[in-house]
Amino acid sequence: MNTPNILTRRSFLRRAAVLGSAGACAGTIRDFRLMNSLMAAQNPNPSGPYKALVCVFLGGGNDSNNWIVPTDNTTYGEYAAARGNLVLPQSSLLPLRTGPLGTDPAYSYQGRTYGFHPACPQLQTLFGEKKLAIVQNVGTLVRPTTKANYNSGLAAYRPPQLFSHSDQVTQWQTSIPDQPPTTGWGGRVADIYNSVANPSGKISMNVSIAGANTLEIGNLVSQYHVATTGAVTLSGGAMMSGSGARVKAMKDIMALSNSNLQRQAYASVLDSAIKVGDLLNSNITAKADPTDSPLGGYTNPLQVTAFNGGQTFKWQTGLTGLYNPALTGFTDGLGGFPNTSLGTQLKMVARLIAANGPTGFDMKRQIFYVTAGGWDTHTAQVDGPNFTNQPTNTAGTHYGLLRQVSEAMFAFQRAMEQLDGGNPAKPYSTGVTAFTASDFSRTFPSNSQGSDHGWGSHHIIVGGSVDGGKMFGKLPTFAINGPDDTGTGRWIPGLSVDEHTATLAQWYGLDSNEVTGLLPNLSRFNTSFATKFIGFMKPV
Amino acid sequence: MKNSLWKLLLLFGLTAAIYWFARPSAPGTPETPEAPPSAPQAAKPPQKAATVTAPAAPAPITSPAQVQAVLTPAQPGTFKRIEAPPPPPVKIPAGYQDPPTEAAPARLEGEEIALNLRNFSQRFGGNPVGTNAEITKALNGGNNAAANYLPSSRRMNDAGELLDTWGTPYFFHANSATEMEIRSAGPDKILHNADDIVTK
């Protein structure tokens, strides 16, 4: 007699509990494995020069097809034929050159010439100065993927939830697209580096000016959130500030010995938060400098009191003489940083970096995160003759967003050069690298008002250690349903986020084993530590 | 010792009493008798939705015979129901009424697609991805279970795209693995303007 296999409630609950525990353990085991592989690798060198990575995340999906555009007649013709009413006039594009002057020859890559969107003259300048590199068509990949692989529909070739905002943001920031997210790659770097590189550091290695993010989530290191005005501390007037009576009372209460471990830990965390916030705010406080003269182009946003025994710095907008301040529209009087969301965030990053040093935060390695939203341009992407009476397609939402990026990243690079203070080693301008990331690029054809979610995207890397004035990667073939297209103008990435991250990580100081431990999928791609992965960073 | 024995016996008695009153019913003897199964009903032909009208108010009592009829006790097994007068119709202020629009069916269809997407997501661990045509294909049986998740009123064009009430392809905006914004271009057939019908 056959006994029916009845799943009782009790056995169902038992099995579900076992499965749930197994799933949770799997993620934990993976994290431990990652950490162990990193720990087992050679310890990073904490005595190296200061280095910082600054992630500029463009939330919503930047249409990089209109950010960096081929200008040679053949490729521009292909671009213009497929972009529909989103097309930018060829004459409006800002040509990439081999030098900083307008008379320098045009830069050519793989038989093509290129130009930046007309909103980005500052980026054009940085490219000419060889402080900016461009990586073409990079995106989330599980493994190298061709169109045939994509069309096979196999999950092995498709990152989960392609074209979905939050999933692609997460995958860009974890660099492990085919596994549930637990940590960001910046957090994993901090897990291994913080204790050896920042033994006496006074703030977290990972600082966000844009709130919580996946990139900086680690197992050991917590991200520290700072507003564009400084650390968020206790408020309430004089009683709560500095040595105010209420703050003193709270600190006294927190200092009391407590037999309850949880209460003791809470008191410790709160006390530490108050101290770090006070330290940060006192270190970045700008003080008036009577020698400043707005007429001379000087203001004082980067003056700090803690760096190098109280040395102060000035900011000069026209630092190199090659940059035309009139292009930026910097009118806020804050010394070169535009008064935009991204500008104020990057200004805070610059102030935090300036406030570093033995008497400041005493950090040798840092990772910063800033973001600008509004890039999901399904509509109102461009403004031009097809939309209003604008003469050319050089205005619209995308114009404003790209202008914000161009001005802010330029100002940040100039701030790092200013912090060098004439030091021939250029510790800040070469020690700090900023890079862009975004959910995805956008569809190549227009949806009549804008563009929809795409995949592979162009990105820029800015800094003195960047092998700048160059392009890397390969431009996708501008053919709808062509060899690089999923079918609707979504480019299959030619380079993976893993390779992009590995290039940055190698420059940051991770050795071969550490990079492999950091990025478990990296071995699937045809890339190597010996060739510096994508190669957009100069040798260390 | 004797005192403890009494306490023990009392405790045993109390336990036995509690068990007796709280004991579960014996198998096959339901605590409340079930209603006898009703006779199988003959299949009725499909009917159009009935027009909902308020019940007519009972006639006013105007004669002694009517009073007697009301006061006469009901015979055993029968009931005499006295209908209460219907409540007066609720008057909705002018500014609070949903005006009857041609968008109403489209809103319902959007809700149905959203519900189907939720079901798909729960079954397969996430929404289908891609363009309208790719998502429609996945909902239309192009999934591991060959299950259909399209609404009953589905309309598709030659490209395999799911169309809204006005014949314009829906726009699927993937915010996350489980959150999909479904946008109909509305009566003007132009996406991203004021008459769009958006369902989340």
Is the CB of residue A442 less than 8 Å away from at least one CB of chain B?
no
Per-residue confidence at A330, pLDDT binned at 50, 70, 90?
very low
Nearest-CB residue to B176 (from A167, A452, A487)? A167
Residue A477 has pLDDT above 90, yes or no: yes
A178 touches chain B (CB under 8 A): no
Residue B68 in any domain: the answer is no
Residue B55 has a pLDDT of 52
In a domain, B67, yes or no: no
Tabulate helix, strand, coil % of chain B (nearest 5): 30, 10, 60
What is the number of domains present in chain B?
1
The DSSP annotation for A224-263 comes to EE-BTTB-----SGGGTSTT-HHHHHHHHHHHS--SSHHH
A382 burial level (CB within 10 Å; 0-12, 13-18, 19+): buried
Considering the domain boundaries, does residue B145 fall inside one?
yes
Structural domain including B122 reads 104-199
In the predicted model, what is the mean pLDDT of residues A330-350? 70
Q: Which helix (H) or strand (E) holds A473?
A: strand A470-473
Cβ of B176 and A166 within 8 Å? yes
Closest residue on chain A to B180 (Cα): A164
Residue B147 lies in a domain: yes
Given CB atoms, is B129 within the 8 Å cutoff of chain A?
A: yes
CATH number, position B154? 3.30.700.10
pLDDT of residue B168: 94
Number of Cβ within a 10 Å radius of residue B107: 15
pLDDT at residue B20, as a whole number: 79
Identify whether B124 is part of a domain: yes
Residues B56-74: pLDDT tens digits? 566 667 777 777 766 666 5
- Contact yes or no for B176 and A161 at CB 8 A: yes
Contact check, Cβ <8 Å, B129/A447: no
pLDDT of residue A11: 67
- The number of helix segments (H) and strand segments (E) in chain B equals 4, 3
In B131-150, the residues whose Cβ lies within 8 Å of chain A are: 131
Q: Is the model's pLDDT at A326 over the cut of 60?
A: no
Query: Is residue A488 within 8 angstroms of chain B, CB to CB?
Result: yes
- Averaged confidence pLDDT in chain A: 83
Q: Is residue B113 part of a domain?
A: yes
More confident residue, A138 or B91: A138
Residue of B161, B192, B200 to mutate for A, most A C-beta atoms under 10 A:
B192
Residues in chain A closer than 8 A to B179 (CB atoms) = 166
Residue B15, chain A, CB below 8 Å: the answer is no
Residue B109 placed within a domain: yes
Give A277 to chain B, closest Cα distance, Å: 34
The predicted-structure confidence for A155-199, as pLDDT tens digits, reads as follows: 899 999 999 999 999 999 999 999 989 999 999 999 988 999 999
pLDDT grade for A89, boundaries at 50, 70 and 90 = very high
Domain architecture of chain A: domains with CATH: 41-230+293-524 (3.40.720), 232-283 (no CATH)
Q: What is the ipTM of this complex?
A: 0.76
Distance from A471 to chain B by nearest Cα, in Å?
Answer: 30
Interface contact A487-B174, CB threshold 8 A: no
Residue B199 has a CB neighbour count (10 Å cut-off) of: 20
Is position B120 within any domain?
A: yes
Angle at A418 between CA A415 and CA A424, to 5 degrees: 130
Contacts of B198 in chain A (CB under 8 A): none
Which pLDDT band holds residue A48 (cuts at 50, 70, 90)?
confident
The model scores a pTM over 0.80: no
- Count CB atoms within 10 A of the CB of residue B45: 4
